[in-house]
A and B are shown apart, each in its own frame.
Chain A
């Protein structure tokens, strides 16, 4: 694409322009999938509760997300008295920006990646950790006790689960010998049996549960906790500012699902070696993982706060450590090839 643009434009400008186009090619589908994820979620949860969910707006209710977005767009943004204006508006941006920035290193196919950096995994970890500042600042700037409680909870929760999540990723990079997401996928070549979800099965489960906790989704949604603290950190937000939090939550959900797919389910690789690989497989797998997110939400009641802490610190962290040591030990034995 750069070559093509260089024919018409100044070469420096062409590169920037090419990147801009690529960014749009990522951000716009992400936004659309966020919108339709909300629709998907409402339909699936409805089905699991013997309802049918939204089916009025457009064909099968397919225009519902657009109607919702328009509604939020036209709503007034209310500024609470005595809130810190600057931080109040910074918070939604701080939560949406990392949620989108992390997509830069996600490989959608062979060499189909915006920024092919070597420390991709670390970059993603860093970005997902920054997202919590949005929540914390939102809770603090709102000058409301519910919001403040929500942000405290979410800070503690994200800090605890970040560790377990980081350790599961250590397992992956031990197997793949690389921090580059593309290379991690390439290391899982050769059908379903080569995917890392088998040798790293406990880590896969722990990663997945931590991912649910990281994105503040049910049953770990204590930061919002409607029945306890109204809406938690975003209780004072309305209109577009609220919509940004909403977008960030769902974009993060898709992001951690795609990461789960890349690291444990073979990314864009097809499950059987005789079927060609491609982005299609990535989408199917991501949809499958996202279904689990929604399934959890429809099934489990919210964890109690101290139970969340216990699970994070006393169960997940020891378990991941044990499994990492186990993998390390196995790699020194004759069975090492199962872990590569």
Chain B
């Protein structure tokens, strides 16, 4: 019957005393609002701390060269379109945002006649850019654009080429900087 052995009185007291102490401490703690006051102390410290707000239009967070923003189609420096209508991007796009139609040109190369990206479908995953063998479709650092009417965000080939023309310098610089990691 060992397990019924409760120890002598001293032992029993040793077990009870800390319990009582805990019990009393708990009551004292909750009556003095100890934990609540500590929480309030914490918020008060933050009240005087430095604010981390970025005031957007004036201040901006730093951007990575791999930033995935507005899509663009690029041209070679000689003005020729890069895209060879291989349709890899169309195939890989998880959101099925890309629509391509192609035909043979007079010089027997294959080019797109239609290259649409529905930016309302696009999830900016960057797979199209990764799949492209000729670095034609790319994502730029632009994120401040909008459409005011239905269909404004359905980008056609001309619009995408226009974006590419506008930001070519930045695009080329970012690709060059990242080239050793690709």
Contact B40 A52, beta carbon cutoff 8 Å:
no
- Say if the beta carbon of B64 comes within 8 Å of chain A: no
Q: A295-B40, A300-B36 are in contact. Are A47 and B47 (CB under 8 A)?
A: yes
Indicate the size class of the contact surface on chain B.
10 to 19
Contact A52 B51, beta carbon cutoff 8 Å:
yes
Which chain B residues (50-102) contact chain A, with CB distance < 8 Å? 50-53, 55
- Say if the beta carbon of B46 comes within 8 Å of chain A: yes
Q: Which residue of A lies closest to B51 (CB)?
A: A52
* B43, B49, B52, B53: the one within 8 Å of A299 (CB): B43
- Say if the beta carbon of A49 comes within 8 Å of chain B: yes
Which chain B residues (1-59) contact chain A, with CB distance < 8 Å? 33, 36, 39-40, 42-44, 46-47, 49-53, 55
Residues of A within 8 A of B42 (CB): 299
Contact A44 B36, beta carbon cutoff 8 Å:
no
Contact B36 A49, beta carbon cutoff 8 Å:
no
Which chain B residues (109-167) contact chain A, with CB distance < 8 Å? none
Q: Which residue of A lies closest to B30 (CB)?
A: A315
Indicate the size class of the contact surface on chain A.
10 to 19
Residues of B within 8 A of A298 (CB): 43
Q: Which residue of A lies closest to B41 (CB)?
A: A299
Residues of A within 8 A of B51 (CB): 47, 50-52
Residues of B within 8 A of A79 (CB): none
**How long is the Cα–Cα vector from A295 to B44 in the complex, in angstroms?**
8
**How long is the Cα–Cα vector from A205 to B37 in the complex, in angstroms?**
13
Contact B39 A50, beta carbon cutoff 8 Å:
no
**How long is the Cα–Cα vector from A52 to B36 in the complex, in angstroms?**
24
**How long is the Cα–Cα vector from A219 to B36 in the complex, in angstroms?**
11
Which chain A residues (30-51) contact chain B, with CB distance < 8 Å? 44, 47-51
Which chain A residues (98-121) contact chain B, with CB distance < 8 Å? none
Which chain A residues (283-300) contact chain B, with CB distance < 8 Å? 295-296, 298-300
Residues of B within 8 A of A51 (CB): 51-53
Candidate in A47, A51, A296, A300 with the most chain B CB atoms within 10 angstroms: A47
**How long is the Cα–Cα vector from A44 to B51 in the complex, in angstroms?**
12
**How long is the Cα–Cα vector from A299 to B40 in the complex, in angstroms?**
6
Task: Tell me the minimal C-beta distance from B35 to chain A in angstroms.
Answer: 10
Contact B46 A48, beta carbon cutoff 8 Å:
yes
**How long is the Cα–Cα vector from A299 to B37 in the complex, in angstroms?**
10
Contact B53 A44, beta carbon cutoff 8 Å:
no
Which chain A residues (51-85) contact chain B, with CB distance < 8 Å? 51-52
Task: Tell me the minimal C-beta distance from A235 to chain B in angstroms.
Answer: 29
Task: Tell me the minimal C-beta distance from B37 to chain A in angstroms.
Answer: 10
Contact B52 A295, beta carbon cutoff 8 Å:
no
Contact B50 A295, beta carbon cutoff 8 Å:
no
Residues of B within 8 A of A295 (CB): 40, 43-44
Which chain A residues (265-297) contact chain B, with CB distance < 8 Å? 295-296
Task: Tell me the minimal C-beta distance from B170 to chain A in angstroms.
Answer: 30
Contact B52 A50, beta carbon cutoff 8 Å:
yes
Residues of B within 8 A of A49 (CB): 46
Residues of B within 8 A of A296 (CB): 40
**Contacts from B to A (Cβ < 8 Å):** 33, 36, 39-40, 42-44, 46-47, 49-53, 55
Can you report 8 residue pairs joining A to B where beta carbons are below 8 Å apart? A44-B47, A47-B47, A50-B51, A52-B53, A295-B44, A299-B36, A299-B42, A299-B43
Closest 3 CB pairs of A and B: A299-B43, A48-B43, A52-B53
